[in-house]
Structure 1
Amino acid sequence: MIDDFKLLEDVERYINGQMTPDERVQFEGLRKSNPEIDQLVVEHTFFLHQMNRFDDMKKFKSGLNDIHIDLAEKGAIKSTRLKGRAKVIYLVNRYKRVAAIAASIAGVTALTISALVWSISPTTPRKEIAQLNRKFNELNQKNAMLGKQINEVKDQIGTAPAVTYKTGGTGFLIDAKGLLVTNAHVIANAKYIAVQNSDGKDLKVKIVYVDVDRDLAILKIEDSAYRAPKSIPYSIKRSNADLAEPVYTLGFPRNDIVYGEGYLSAKTGFNGDTLTCQIAIAANPGNSGGPILNHNGEVIGILSTKQTSAEGVVFATQSKFIYSALNQLQKDTAYQKVKMPSTSSIKNLDRMQQVKKISDYVYMVKVN
């Protein structure tokens, strides 16, 4: 119990920048080696950010109300004279700022205790399958955006305000002209979407096709900064993978690309689902939409969900359904000439060389 309280205290000191340089380096190393602590930092940062936003909004509304009441009392604006019960409402409005602050403090206390109890107590999963999109650390993201805007201030003149992305996953190219595939749940309810390339640059994209049943979405990069490659090194496999076949994946459970390896453990997904296959591999929020590749450099699936009640049990949409999605997209004449890579140019390379070739074609998907 004491260790859990100490952990939460360390998380808050890390978020608030109160650690010494040595402590910060040690804690960041702990985040890299322990996904649960990394996720706790992300969620606690988001929690504190939401509470600050709530408090700012309450103060803003209360301030507007105080100004209105003050102007009405001075006769600067017309306001209906209050009688009877309306006077009670007036008094409530006049002093609700104090009550709001007290309520906010109580709310923060209650939510903090709830978050602490949640973080240190064993819980029963709410559902057996968990999607693997992730929440971004908004504080770090805003700091990065600020630095980027300062360094590129000339390029920012006349452009729209920077978007703060809240969730995300992974996507990968299926056509050199800028078509990517990811999971439908990664971009669900999105107002703004961007993809981040291997150089850390955000590129504008639009949604061109969604298949919710198969959890597939196709995006199109529409950004002048995009440089189309001559070809794509991997291929998309049309047939099912073999049981026990070694596989690997690349994705963005953190802000830089992460490699993972495993094997095909079942040809069907959860409860015999024929749209997906089961992979034994480590995966975390942010891996959704990442490619699952075999030793020949062929994409055999798209990482989608994991079983919450079993460690290392992950499900992937079978790659043959990417062809089905493209067939539907090609009903639009603008995409009739799209052709996915059918042969792998990295077939005879070792794993390390394959990953080097593939990394530039795997993108972080960022959603607001």
Structure 2
Amino acid sequence: MKTEADYYALFEAYRSGELAASQRADLEHRLAADPNFAQLFADFTELTSTLHGYGERLATRRKLHAIQADLDAEQAVRLEEGETLETGIPTMPQVYISPVERKLRAFWGAHRATAMVAASVAVMAVFATLLGLEWWRAAQQRPSLYGYTVLRREVERIKQTQKAMNRAINQIDGTKPETELNPGKFSGTGFALTADGYLVTSYHVIQGADSLLIESRDRQRYRAEPVFTDVAHDLAILRIKDRKFSGFGRLPYSFKRGTADLGEKVFTLGYPREDVVFGEGSLSARSGFEGDTAFYQISIPVNPGNSGGPLLDDRGNLIGIISGRQMDMQSAAFATKSSYLMRLVDSLSAVGTAQPYNMPRTNLMAGTSRRQQIRKLQDYVFVVKVYE
């Protein structure tokens, strides 16, 4: 599938006359028949025209600067030959200014301020556009529901960039590209809740999903479905519904029902990239954004894709679920308290909305080193891929 960059390269070849007659005819036929394709070509034309106009304004500005420099230095003048007077003293050289140069002087004197302002406005317009795009991206990242930046990772744009790079490499090497699976539109992190196929992630990770795919560290993939969501506390419980799934095995961690202590060492595993990433820090506050007591504040740098990941204390007890971070503070992250997850599980079991959850009762990670804890934990942390 062609990306926007591929189409722009095609349009550039079309405008420069580099396409063969048959390719040119096919392109013109598609432009006439496909309104979306025609709109893409119109966007390309507008963009290139804007850039071309901006380049011309910069070139004009440079020429005007050069004219001013020449005039100031009097480098473009022609000197008349000196005449000898009766006294024998030669006359001083006279500066000759041609009619064309006089017109240039008059034009520059009358329009210098206007030209400088126009060039400055063009530069400011470019920077204002770039700044506006950054503000727009920031606005897209800030959800109104929780007040802080949630960390669902947008996969589609990343994959398009990677595919474009891979195509370029394949063209150089002459190799045939491998068939790739659909990467999904968004991704986050999830972890096992029970050994028989229930998982936990953040609600905002799966929000709007048509289908879900769970991927393990060794690239095993399973279809999953949401069985319950808690929007207020940013929680979602998923269930694997794949026939080939045979269970997670015994979970090495247990879930803490109480509140963790301020200053505790905490750590997490998540998927802000294709490989699992470890992060650690401290529990810096017992409340979250704007004092929300359902969340912790932690000093772990987290990124898009970390949402839904497990937060564990130094003994390997699961104490929270990564939810997001404060926009203006890179290391101020927030996690839903595990006690709210336990209340959710208890309430679901009590009303009989699902099969009983066989929660782990023993902690196999207590008393082990951090490296050993990570080895035990990483097989129970997954990528949650979202398709819309």
CA distance in 2, matches of 1:141, 1:103: 23
Would you say 1:326 and 2:341 are equivalent positions? no
Would you say 1:101 and 2:63 are equivalent positions? no
Q: Which one of 167, 187, 205 corresponds to residue 206 of structure 2? A: 187
Q: Which one of 224, 249, 270 corresponds to residue 243 of structure 2? A: 224
The answer on whether the counterparts of 1:244 and 1:265 sit within 8 Å (CA) in structure 2 is: yes
CA distance in 2, matches of 1:348, 1:234: 12
CA distance in 2, matches of 1:226, 1:60: 48
Would you say 1:117 and 2:138 are equivalent positions? no
Sort the Cα spacing of 1:121 and 1:232 in 2 relative to 1 into closer, same or farther, 3 A. Answer: closer
SS in 1 for 2:178: helix
Q: Match for residue 20 of structure 1?
A: none
Q: Match for residue 296 of structure 1?
A: 315
Structure 1 residue 343, shift from structure 2 partner: 2.3
CA distance in 2, matches of 1:223, 1:97: 39
Q: Match for residue 178 of structure 1?
A: 197
Q: Match for residue 238 of structure 1?
A: 257
CA distance in 2, matches of 1:64, 1:120: 31
In structure 2, list runs of 5 or more residues that go unmatched. Answer: 11-24, 52-125, 168-176
Query: For residue 275 of structure 1, what is the amino acid of its counterpart?
Result: A
The answer on whether the counterparts of 1:209 and 1:325 sit within 8 Å (CA) in structure 2 is: no
Q: Match for residue 347 of structure 1?
A: 366
The answer on whether the counterparts of 2:227 and 2:238 sit within 8 Å (CA) in structure 1 is: yes
- CA RMSD, aligned part only? 3.8
Map 1:140-159; keep pairs closer than 5 Å.
140=162, 147=178
Structure 1 residue 66, shift from structure 2 partner: 4.3
Structure 1 residue 332, shift from structure 2 partner: 6.9
Structure 1 residue 197, shift from structure 2 partner: 0.6
Sequence identity of aligned pairs in percent? Answer: 34
Aligned length: 279
Q: Deviation string for 1:66-89 (max 9, x for gaps)?
A: 469xxxxxxxxxxxxxxxxxxxxx
Would you say 1:313 and 2:253 are equivalent positions? no
CA distance in 1, matches of 2:267, 2:277: 11
Q: Which one of 291, 295, 299 corresponds to residue 280 of structure 1? A: 299
The answer on whether the counterparts of 1:208 and 1:329 sit within 8 Å (CA) in structure 2 is: no
SS in 1 for 2:293: coil
CA distance in 1, matches of 2:179, 2:38: 39
Structure 1 residue 320, shift from structure 2 partner: 0.8
CA distance in 2, matches of 1:133, 1:281: 17
CA distance in 2, matches of 1:102, 1:123: 23
Q: Deviation string for 1:263-295 (max 9, x for gaps)?
A: 100000011101101001110110000000011
Structure 1 residue 110, shift from structure 2 partner: 7.0
Sort the Cα spacing of 1:54 and 1:300 in 2 relative to 1 into closer, same or farther, 3 A. Answer: farther
Query: For residue 171 of structure 1, what is the amino acid of its counterpart?
Result: G
CA distance in 2, matches of 1:226, 1:325: 25
Sort the Cα spacing of 1:192 and 1:306 in 2 relative to 1 into closer, same or farther, 3 A. Answer: same
The answer on whether the counterparts of 1:237 and 1:342 sit within 8 Å (CA) in structure 2 is: no
The answer on whether the counterparts of 2:32 and 2:38 sit within 8 Å (CA) in structure 1 is: no
CA distance in 2, matches of 1:190, 1:99: 29
Q: Match for residue 232 of structure 2?
A: 213
The answer on whether the counterparts of 1:138 and 1:165 sit within 8 Å (CA) in structure 2 is: no
Structure 1 residue 120, shift from structure 2 partner: 11
Q: Deviation string for 1:81-127 (max 9, x for gaps)?
A: xxxxxxxxxxxx9xx9878624333247879x789935997999544
Sort the Cα spacing of 1:66 and 1:307 in 2 relative to 1 into closer, same or farther, 3 A. Answer: closer
Sort the Cα spacing of 1:121 and 1:147 in 2 relative to 1 into closer, same or farther, 3 A. Answer: closer
In structure 1, list runs of 5 or more residues that go unmatched. Answer: 1-47, 69-92, 150-161
CA distance in 2, matches of 1:273, 1:62: 58
Structure 1 residue 228, shift from structure 2 partner: 1.2
User: How does the TM-score come out when normalised to structure 1?
Assistant: 0.66
CA distance in 2, matches of 1:109, 1:357: 57
CA distance in 2, matches of 1:49, 1:124: 21
Would you say 1:364 and 2:383 are equivalent positions? yes
The answer on whether the counterparts of 1:207 and 1:217 sit within 8 Å (CA) in structure 2 is: yes
Q: Deviation string for 1:269-326 (max 9, x for gaps)?
A: 0111011010011101100000000111101100101001112000000001111222
Query: For residue 147 of structure 1, what is the amino acid of its counterpart?
Result: E
Q: Computing the radius of gyration over CA atoms, which structure comes out larger, 1 or 2? A: 2
CA distance in 2, matches of 1:115, 1:194: 40
CA distance in 1, matches of 2:332, 2:132: 23
